Structures are given as C-alpha cells and as structure tokens.
Amino acid sequence: MELKCNDVKIWKEALTSYQSRILSLSLNKPNLVCLDDFYRTQLPSLIHSRIPTPYLTQSELHSLMQWKLTRGKFRPRLLGFVAALDEEVVKSASQKAFLSLPDDLSKAVSELTVLKGVGPATASAILAAYAPDLAPFMSDEAMEAVLGQSKDYSLKQYLLLANKLREKAKELSSEDEQFTASDVERALWSSAVGAKLTASSAKAQQDTSTKSSGRKRKKSA
C-alpha cells in the first residue's frame, strides 16, 4: 500500500488486519503476541498512570526493545545495552522526553538517545507509547512506504517521517473515523507484512508443486 492511497476503507482494512499479521508472525516468533499486547495496551497505561510526571522504567524499556526487535529485525546487542542501563537514568531521560511534547519532538528524541542502545528508532517507539498521535514508530515498513528507504535512522529522517504520517492521519480522519499517526504506521506495516506473507506462501506452494511434478516424472521414466 502506498502513502498516496486516499481510500479510507483500504487503510481501515490494513489497520484492522494488524493483529492477524502479528498472529501469523508469531508462528516463528512465539513471544510476539504477548510483547505486542504489552507495548500497545499495557505500556501506554503504565506511563500515563505516573502523574504528574510520566516516565518509563528500565524493565519497561527492556520489554519495549524486545518488542521492537521481535516485530522487526533482531539485533541482540541492543538488548544487552538496554539491560545495563541504570534505572534512574532511564527514568530521568524519559521524563525529560515526555515533557518536551507536544512542543518539541526533536528535543524529545534527543533526550532519549543519550541512553546507550537507544537510537531515533527506539526513541520513536518510546514516544509512540506515550503520544501516538504525535510520535509514530519509525518502522522499516513505514520508512519504505513514506521515504522510499529504510537505512537512514537519523533524527532528520524521523522528523520527516513523523510529519508525513501526521499529515496522512489528518487527511484520513473525519467525524466518523479517526486516525492517529501511529495508526497510519501500523496500517503501512500491516500491509507490507501481509504482502510478504502472501508472496512467501505462494512461493512455498510453487516449490511444493515443482517437487511433486519432479517425483511424477521420475516415476513415469
């Protein structure tokens, strides 16, 4: 699905299919369902329950990193870096980041990237859990769809991505249907993963058919 698509029905279907994509991937990634539930459902509530100054704990950051690496590309070194972070350092950095919103997304990201192992992409995941309408996750799939590449994980590229996803969310929203920037990211991810799963299934069927034909030829020979 391309970002320029204006059919709200298609976007809604892609977003609705998100959970089924997670379930499909969980066949090879058994922890993904629980991690995704933690990230999308439990974590936002935990962060916002810490009134008056929301923050993230070190253990929550570790679980968030597990979610990010399980849903996307697995980079075990990042888990090690996050596991070694001090609790108070994580709390302080996340408090400063959350306080920077909604006024300064760039500052919010920068407050988090002082943490070892946390780059703009992980910072975006943290901020998306706190403010999904302002700070969508910097997924490879969203970057490919919006920016045409998923190699430059810089702050500059993230700000460009976030702006375009917010614009698309505003464009798709109406009195009857509301989209956040994070909804747009998840829809793009769901669409891209769905296409990959379909292609993989078709290839598997073709390979099975080819092997079957080969066996039949051997028997007839």
pLDDT in tens, 86-103: 999 999 999 999 999 999
Rounded-to-integer distance, Cα 28 and Cα 10, Å: 27
Report whether pLDDT(204) > 90.
no
According to the model, what pLDDT value does residue 191 have? 96
* Local confidence band at 206 (pLDDT 50, 70, 90 cut-offs): low
According to the model, what pLDDT value does residue 207 have? 54
Identify whether the C-beta of residue 69 lies closer than 8 Å to the C-beta of residue 39: no
According to the model, what pLDDT value does residue 76 have? 83
* Local confidence band at 69 (pLDDT 50, 70, 90 cut-offs): very high
Report whether pLDDT(7) > 60.
yes
Number of H helices and number of E strands within the chain? 12, 0
Question: What percent of the chain clears pLDDT 70, i.e. is strictly above it?
Answer: 90
Identify whether the C-beta of residue 135 lies closer than 8 Å to the C-beta of residue 149: no
pTM for this predicted structure = 0.90
- Sort 166 into a burial class: Cβ within 10 Å, 0-12 / 13-18 / 19+: buried
Report whether pLDDT(65) > 70.
yes
Rounded-to-integer distance, Cα 5 and Cα 10, Å: 8
* Local confidence band at 150 (pLDDT 50, 70, 90 cut-offs): confident
Identify whether the C-beta of residue 187 lies closer than 8 Å to the C-beta of residue 21: no
Q: What's the chain's average pLDDT? A: 92
Report whether pLDDT(211) > 90.
no
- Sort 147 into a burial class: Cβ within 10 Å, 0-12 / 13-18 / 19+: middle
